[in-house]
Amino acid sequence: MPAADNGQNETPSITGPRDYVTPKELDPYGITQTIADYADAARNAIAAGFDGVEIHGANGYLIHQFLAPNTKNVAAEASPCFPATAPMSPA
């Protein structure tokens, strides 16, 4: 049983209880697509007039899962555009 499940099969939402979604491991294509999605979102924010974009990357969020040694996996290592040791730019 996933730790987040706690014996329940539903999670609250604004439209009422919803079934949990079982997470799936990203394959190399999925990793590449997710990176492109992040880049598109950042471009859209800049085009909308935002000064910058900040990605929350701690405590299990997606970007953290690629950088944390305890979540490193074969799919992350297989991505040609996001190696597990990729440096993060502060700019």
What is the Cα gyration radius of the chain? Answer: 16
Contact 25, 76 (CB under 8 A): no
Residues with Cβ within 8 Å of 59's Cβ and at least 6 positions away in sequence, in order, are none
Half-sphere exposure of 51 (CA within 13 A, CB side): 0
| Active-site position among 20, 29, 38, 61 | 61
Strands, E assignment, the chain: 10-11, 18-19
Tell me if residue 29 is catalytic: no
Residues serving a catalytic function are 61
